[in-house]
Amino acid sequence: MSDMNSHPKQETTLLLVKPDGVKRGLTGEILRRIELRGLKIVGLTMITPKRDELDNHYPNDDGWLTRVGEKTLSTYEKYGYDAEKELGTTNPLKIGKEVRTWLLDFMTSGPIVKVAIQGIHAVEMVRKLVGATMPSAAEMGTIRGDFSVDSAAAANRDKRSVHNLAHASETVEEAKKELMLWFAANELHDYKRAEEDIMF
Ligand code: ADP
């Protein structure tokens, strides 16, 4: 992997088209947006992931779980729903653990497409293309903003995770870990896009 990232600003990141993205036929549109931006697809496969792969993929520390739980609590508050009544608790850590279980249920509910993407500041660029976690907050022009409608309050009422079409690594460190998890070395490819000499 280090060879592939030889330029100091060259990064490789992971995007997963989630089961809702695949089932809605949005895989092509998502890939199109990545490629049009000038980012290079260096790995691409459809898989039906196993639960333990997702279990390794999503963080499981108290900090992450609490942050996820807090997202639920803030949307419940925003829309005037009673978290205690609906979820049986207002403890963000407990809610985060519950949401993580729903997320694993969702991510194993059908095929996903794993995509390794390389480019200048690829981690940040792909996060920007994907947009904010909650579709109701994602800007127009982003994948989530243009094609999904959901919120934590709506999702958690139905005991499910938010359906927001795609996952993208959040940091360079996370990208490295996730790429190791999802791609074998021989599944990542090295080539030059035609415009690389012109643009960089
Ligand atoms: P992102 O995918 O934008 O990096 P997170 O890492 O915070 O966001 O969460 C991972 C995924 O878990 C989200 O994309 C979403 O599908 C789901 N999710 C996060 N928070 C909640 C929540 N409070 N309720 C339901 N689903 C959630």
Tell me the CB-side half-sphere exposure of residue 130, using CA atoms within 13 A: 25
Q: State the pLDDT at residue 136.
A: 87
Q: State the pLDDT at residue 132.
A: 96
Q: State the pLDDT at residue 144.
A: 98
Q: Dump pLDDT digits (tens) for 44-65.
A: 999 999 999 999 999 999 999 9
Whether residue 116 contacts residue 167, with contact meaning beta carbons closer than 8 Å, is answered with no
Q: State the pLDDT at residue 199.
A: 75
Residues within a 6 A CB radius of ligand 1 = 68, 71-72, 99, 103, 133, 152, 155-156, 161-162, 164, 167, 170
Nearest atom within ligand 1 for CA of residue 95: 23
Q: Dump pLDDT digits (tens) for 162-190.
A: 999 999 999 999 999 999 999 999 999 99
- Give the architecture-level CATH label for domain 8-60+110-182: 2-Layer Sandwich (3.30)
Q: State the pLDDT at residue 8.
A: 58
Q: State the pLDDT at residue 5.
A: 56
Which residue stretches of the chain have pLDDT < 50?
2
167 classed as catalytic: yes
Domain coordinates in residue numbering, the chain: 8-60+110-182
Q: State the pLDDT at residue 14.
A: 98
Alpha carbon nearest to ligand 1 atom 16, residue: 162
Q: How far does the centroid of ligand 1 lie from the alpha carbon of residue 71, in Å?
A: 8
Q: How far does the centroid of ligand 1 lie from the alpha carbon of residue 7, in Å?
A: 32
Q: How far does the centroid of ligand 1 lie from the alpha carbon of residue 171, in Å?
A: 15
Q: Which of 74, 162, 174 to mutate to test the pocket of ligand 1 (most atoms within 8 A of CB)?
A: 162
Nearest atom within ligand 1 for CA of residue 67: 7
Nearest atom within ligand 1 for CA of residue 100: 12
